[in-house]
Amino acid sequence: MAKFNLRKGALALAVVPLLALGACSASGGKTEASAGAGAAGQVADTARIKVAMITHAAAGDTFWDIVRKGAETAAKKDNVELLYSGDAEGGRQAQLVQQAIDQKVDGIVVTLAKPDALKDVVKKAVDAGIPIVSMNAGEDQSKALGAFTHFGQSDKLAGVTVGKRLAEEGIKHPICVIQEQGHVGLENRCAGIKENVPGTEILNVNGADMTSVSSTVTAKLQSTPDADAIVGLGAPFTLTIVKSVKETGSKIKVASFDLNGDLAKAIADGRIEFTVDQQPYLQGYGSVDAIWLSKVGGFKVGGGQQVFTGPAVVDKSNAADVSTFATAGIR
């Protein structure tokens, strides 16, 4: 099972209670409150606070269901009213941050996939005295924009990890499939692969339309017979890639970033070689808990540094170990 690695000097997180939570979905621009007072699993005897979590979640991306589940678990434990919202477009995500400021929340968790679109509104939040934690994307910009810590993996390091693994397997011409053009984290993943496999080629697809992803990947496979690996940057996209590989009859190897239950099964049965897991449940849980710790005791998790939640390699040797948790939506 993959381990949760913290940057040296970071405060260890509280033990995560594994609660039975209902399925959640990313809410494309819509804010939803959750974790009411008296919720099962609540242990904090502290004043009720309100925390907004604003992600760049695209509709249908199950990765964010896992992030949200972790956030809701922490919110129930900490007596937090959690306001969750997401939008893949940077400008609309910035509007959601402004709404949180107007609601006078006690803290904001935000992803920084499009930092240029968010820098001004995040500064407004900081100037208003609202503590900021960044999560998942934008680790290189997090501190400069005013977040006191960042929960996630280094996307560049994750890319390097994949690149080294591909190089060890003799791969010379992988295709790295970016589902959201302009997303700094996804670009860093492909850049990390290219550092170790210079023949890496980038393929941009429209991640908001899986039919389009499939047709674009199929066309690329048919026009690039010398490609020897294809890498998806998220579980739903990689699973779509696997279908395209099967339909074209290609023998190309498939690798991935991130994890869900179906992808864990695909690794176990050999359709996907491996993935690197950034443990999104921990990103959601740790970010909300860090805001609570900041409000109740002035604690600053991470000591001004990023709190690493990955990368952790999952391949056929350990896929069965993580499959149960991935299927339950807590990996």
Structural domain contains residue 323: no
pLDDT per residue as tens digits for the range 136-148: 998 889 999 999 9
Q: Which pLDDT score, from 0 to 100, does residue 304 have?
A: 82
Q: Are 60 and 89 in contact (CB under 8 A)?
A: no
DSSP string, 203-265: EE--TT-HHHHHHHHHHHHHH-TT--EEEESSHHHHHHHHHHHHHHT---EEEEES--HHHHH
Residues 123, 165, single domain; the answer is no
Whole-model pTM: value is 0.75
Residues 266, 248, single domain; the answer is yes
152 burial level (CB within 10 Å; 0-12, 13-18, 19+): buried
pLDDT per residue as tens digits for the range 257-291: 998 889 999 999 999 999 999 989 999 999 999 99
Residues 123, 222, single domain; the answer is no
Residue 292's CATH number: 3.40.50.2300
Could you list the residue range(s) of the whole structural domain that residue 188 is in?
155-277
Residues 149, 56, single domain; the answer is yes
Residues 305, 218, single domain; the answer is no
> What's the CA gap between 139 and 301, in Å, rounded?
15
Residues 98, 244, single domain; the answer is no
- Closest listed residue to residue 134, CA positions, set 53, 35, 51: 53
Q: Count of domains in the chain?
A: 2
Residues 186, 292, single domain; the answer is no
pLDDT per residue as tens digits for the range 85-96: 999 899 999 999
> What's the CA gap between 43 and 88, in Å, rounded?
34
Question: Which segments of the chain have a pLDDT < 50?
Answer: 1-28, 36-40
Residues 92, 40, single domain; the answer is yes
Residues 244, 197, single domain; the answer is yes
Residues 145, 47, single domain; the answer is yes
